[in-house]
Amino acid sequence: MTMTTLDPRTALVLIDLQRGIATIPTEPYPAAEVIDRSVRLAEAFRAHGLPVVLVRVSFAADGADAPVGRTEHGRGGRAFPEGWDLIVDELWGHPEDLLVTKHNPGAFHGTDLDVQLRRRGITQIVLGGIATSIGVESTARAAYDHGYHVTLATDAMADRSTEVHRHSVEVTFPHLGERGSAEEVIELLTKTRESL
């Protein structure tokens, strides 16, 4: 399905575009392309006075705030280098942007994201980030459950494999919202704002 509209109060929510994650090889788009498209989206949202939310995942050095559930990938006392959880330089440095720190795959659980969006009258979110099937999909599911209209900028996200990315984009996302490219989102944003 193609995108139909963007609500007057729409926010851009970018997931885990941070230093430690941006170095992971991704498909079908390299992280640098995802970041470039995300920067263009963020610039467009800021130009129209709409919120940009930068979501990062972070854990305490002792891992006390990491999820405790058993998975087949395990937790294994993984150490992270200093600064791994900092938003990439290309997106950082705009004081009007909101920063949300999460400790789970999705950006709603255990954070104030929903409160921040509702206080600003947001009814729709546009999502991008890394990884498509983890942080982005978890956030899209929760946004849908919270009653937001969801738009997914599918070329402003990537995963560890093209197959996994495509499954989210082609199978899961049509049940949660509308899909389009970053450029299509920007064009629709401009058209929507001009009609107000």
In a domain, 67, yes or no: no
CA dist 62 and 56 (Å) reads 18
Closest C-alpha among 37, 42, 48, 43 to residue 7:
48
- Tens of pLDDT, residues 132-185: 999 999 999 999 999 999 999 999 999 999 999 999 999 999 999 999 999 999
Q: Any idea what the CATH number is for the domain that residue 93 is in? A: 3.40.50.850
User: 136 — alpha (psi -120 to 50), left (phi > 0) or beta?
Assistant: alpha
Sheet holding 149-158, edge to edge: 98-102, 52-57, 10-15, 124-130, 149-158, 178-180
Q: What is the mean pLDDT of the chain?
A: 92
Q: Residue 55's beta-bridge partner residues?
A: 15, 100
In a domain, 180, yes or no: yes
In a domain, 118, yes or no: yes
The model's confidence at residue 83, banded by pLDDT at 50, 70 and 90, is confident
Q: Which of 61-70, 75-84, 145-154 has the highest mean pLDDT?
A: 145-154
CB-based contact 13:45 (threshold 8 Å): no
Confidence at residue 182, expressed as pLDDT on a 0 to 100 scale: 98
Confidence at residue 106, expressed as pLDDT on a 0 to 100 scale: 96
Which three-class secondary structure state does DSSP give residue 80? coil
Decide if pLDDT at 65 tops 70: no
> Domain range holding 179?
10-59+83-194
Q: Domain count for the chain, please give it.
A: 1
In a domain, 33, yes or no: yes
Decide if pLDDT at 63 tops 70: no
Q: Rounded to whole angstroms, what are the CA distances from 183 to 43, 51, 133, 165, 186? A: 12, 18, 22, 19, 5
In a domain, 64, yes or no: no
In a domain, 68, yes or no: no
> What kind and span of H or E run contains 3?
none
In a domain, 131, yes or no: yes
In a domain, 157, yes or no: yes
